[in-house]
Structure 1
Amino acid sequence: MREESIVVSPVVRRRAELLGAAGEEWLAGLPALVADLARRWSVTVGAPFRAGAGGYVARARAEDGTALVLKLALPEPGSAGQIATLLRAGGRGYVRVLDHDADRFALLMEHLGAPLSELALPPERQIAVLCATLRRVWQVPRSPDLLTEAADEDKATGLAVLVERLWRDLDRPCSVAAYDRAMTYAERRASAHRASRAVVVHGDPHPGNLLRLPASGTPRAGAESGFVFVDPDGFLADPAYDLGVVLRDWCAELLSGDARRLARRYCALLAEESGADATAVWEWGYLERVSTALYLLAHGAEAPSRPYFATAEILADVDVDGDGDGDGDGDVGA
C-alpha cells in the first residue's frame, strides 16, 4: 500500500482532532506508521475496514498468504488498556493477537468473519451467543493496576457523574422520571460494588463487537461459541454490567412491539444464560440506556440518540418486577 493511500473515516478523523496535538500528529504520521509496521511484520496491508471508530483498521496478508488484520488505535488512554486486555486474554473469548507495538498502539491480529450484528439472527439467539462468549471473557486474569482502579471508583459512580452533568448541560433532554430512575439505579449499583468480586469486563459487548470465526477456520480453545470479541475496554466491574450493555440495545425491537414485556423477557434470558442476578442486569441496562442517549446527543449524534431516549421513557416506570412501583419483588420475566 502506498503511503498516500491511507484514508481514515470521518468519525475517526473527528475523534483524532478532538485529541488536539496528539491526534493531529497521529493522523499526519499514519501513512509512515503503516508502512513501517508492514516492513517490520512482513505483511502487505490492504484496504481499510469501513466499520469501527477506534482507529485505523485494515486488511493485511502475511508472506504465506494468511489473512490478518492490522489495527492502529487512536492515542487515547483506553487504547493501552485494550492492548493489555487482549494480551492477557490470550485468545480466550477475544481475537488473538499475533504481534503488537504497545508504544504505538498497534496490533496485528487474526482475521475474523462477519460480526454477529450482520447475521440476521433473532435477538434471543444473539443473546445466547453473547452470554456464552462473555462467560469466557470474564475469565481473563486481573492485573494489580485494575484492582487499584476498581477500589478507587466503580463504574456506576462514573456513570452517575456523567448522567448528571450531561442532563443539565444538555438542558434536560429526557424526563425527570427517566433521569431519576437512572440515578436511583446508579446509586444501587454503586452500593453493591465490591472490587474483590469484580471481573475484567469487555465494557461494550454489543453484537457489532462480536465476530464469527472464519468459516474455513478450525475451532480453537477459547472460542467455543464460534465467536470472539474485539475492542475491549477491559476494566473491573460486576459481570452484570456487560449484560446491562447487551440489554441496553434492541431499541428497534422494543419500539415495534410491547417494549416493557420484551425488555423484561430479554433481561430474564440474559440472567438465565449467564447466571447473573436479573435485578442487577435490569438496573445496569437502564442506566446504560440513559447514559448512552445522553452521550450520543452530547457528541452531535442526535438521530442515533432518539431510540435510546424513547425506550428509556417507556421503561422509566418499570422496575425489575414490571409493575412500576419500584419494590423489585416480582418476576423480571413476567
Structure 2
Amino acid sequence: MEDVDARLVSRFGAKAEGWLAEVPAVAARLATRWGLVLGDLFDSGASSVVMRCQWPDGTPAILKFSPDKALLTKQVEMLRLFAPSGRVPNVLATDAETGATVLEEVLPGTMAEDMPQTSLPQQWGELLAALHAVAPPAQWPLDLRGRFDESFARIGRRLSEPVIGARIDQATWQRAIQRCDTLLDTQDRVVLLHGDLHLGNALDGGPSRGLVAIDPKACIGDPCFDAVDYVVAGAGLEGVEARCERVATACGLDGDRLYAWSRVVAPMVVIAQLTYDGPEPVIDELLALTW
C-alpha cells in the first residue's frame, strides 16, 4: 500500500493522504451496499486504488476508487461506450459521488507484453477490429488532434530538464509535431480509438474472448494510432521497422502510415525511457526514428 500512497500523493498532492485514510471505510460501506466480498489490494495505477472483490453472483471483480471523481466517471463512460465490442471489462456498478466503480476482473489477465509474441499480432488485429467497429457517438468531443495538442504541450515542458534536453532538442520536438500534423491532415478514415492502447492496457481474456482492453481514453482518429505503442515497443527487440511490418499486416493497416506514427511518438517514448532508466540500445533506436 505504501507504493500506492506514494504514487497518489505524487499525482494529487497532500490532499490524497486524507482521501487514502478513508478508503478502507468507504470500501466496507460499498461492500455492504453492493453485496461484495472484498479481497486483496490489486495492481493500482497513479490515479486510483484497486481491490479484488467478488460480485454477489460469484463473478470475480475489482473495486476501483479514485480521488479524481471526474476522471473515474469519464473512464466508466468510455468503458460503456466500447461495451458492444465485448473487448472491455463489464461495468457492474458505479457511484460517481463516491468516485468508485466495480468492474469485471479480466481473467486470466496476463498483460499482452507477457504473452507469446508469435500470435500477438493476430490477436491485436482482432482486438482492433472489434474496438473500431463500435460506432462513434454523435458529436463525441474528443479527437486525436486534441489528444496530441495536449500531449505535446504537457510532455514538451520536460525538454527543459537537463537529462531530457541533452537527448531531445526543440528541433526534434518540432519535427514530431510537423509529422503529426501531416498525418492528422491526411486521415481518410477515422474510427473510435481506444486512445491509450499500449501493451500494459491489453489483457488476456482467455481463448474464447481474446485480448481485452482496459483504461480507454476514447477519441476519434486514424486507426493506425491504436497499434503504434505496440510497434514502438519493438525497439531493442526485433526492431521497430520489423515489428511495424508484422503488425500492419496482421491488423490490416497501412504500414507506411503506421511507421510514420511511430516516428511521431518516438520522442515521447524516449522521454519515458529516460525517466525510468531505460536501456540505451532502446533509446538509441527510438532516437534514430526522430530524424
Offset from partner CA, 1:281-301 (integer Å, 9 cap, x none): 11222222211332565xxx3
- Change beyond 3 A, Cα 1:149–1:202: closer
Distance 1:316 1:245 in 2: 15
2:252 equivalent to 1:278: no
Counterpart residue number, 2:116: 121
- Change beyond 3 A, Cα 1:167–1:58: same
Segments of structure 1 that go 5 or more residues without pairing to the other structure are 1-6, 255-261, 318-334
Distance 2:93 2:283 in 1: 41
Distance 2:132 2:68 in 1: 26
Distance 2:258 2:234 in 1: 15
- Change beyond 3 A, Cα 1:269–1:129: same
Distance 1:311 1:76 in 2: 39
2:221 equivalent to 1:237: yes
Contact 1:244 1:283 in 2 (8 A): no
Distance 1:212 1:67 in 2: 15
2:18 equivalent to 1:34: no
Amino acid of the residue matched to residue 311 of structure 1? Answer: E
SS of residue in 2 equivalent to 1:207 = coil
SS of residue in 1 equivalent to 2:63 = strand
Distance 1:103 1:291 in 2: 35
One of 73, 76, 85 as aligned partner of 1:80? 73
Distance 2:120 2:284 in 1: 23
Counterpart residue number, 1:102: 96
Offset from partner CA, 1:161-216 (integer Å, 9 cap, x none): 3454322444623255754542342232233357xx4322112222222222257x
2:90 equivalent to 1:90: no
Counterpart residue number, 1:158: 150
Q: CA deviation at 1:236?
A: 2.2
One of 164, 168, 180 as aligned partner of 1:186? 180
Counterpart residue number, 1:310: 284
Offset from partner CA, 1:103-159 (integer Å, 9 cap, x none): 33322122221324364412x42222122112211233423453x3439x4333334
RMSD: 3.0
Distance 1:69 1:114 in 2: 12
User: Stretches of 4+ moved more than 6 A in 1?
Assistant: none
SS of residue in 2 equivalent to 1:204 = coil
Segments of structure 2 that go 5 or more residues without pairing to the other structure are none
Counterpart residue number, 1:49: 42
Q: CA deviation at 1:43?
A: 0.7
- The percent identity for this pair of structures is 23
Amino acid of the residue matched to residue 104 of structure 1? Answer: T
One of 146, 153, 167 as aligned partner of 1:174? 167
Number of aligned pairs? 287
Q: CA deviation at 1:60?
A: 0.8
- Change beyond 3 A, Cα 1:116–1:24: closer
Contact 1:199 1:239 in 2 (8 A): yes
Offset from partner CA, 1:64-118 (integer Å, 9 cap, x none): 4332222223416543321111112225221111222233332212222132436
One of 237, 256, 260 as aligned partner of 1:253? 237
- Change beyond 3 A, Cα 1:309–1:161: farther
Structure-2-length-normalised TM-score: 0.83
2:128 equivalent to 1:134: yes
- Change beyond 3 A, Cα 1:118–1:241: closer
SS of residue in 2 equivalent to 1:50 = coil
Contact 1:156 1:187 in 2 (8 A): no
Structure-1-length-normalised TM-score: 0.73
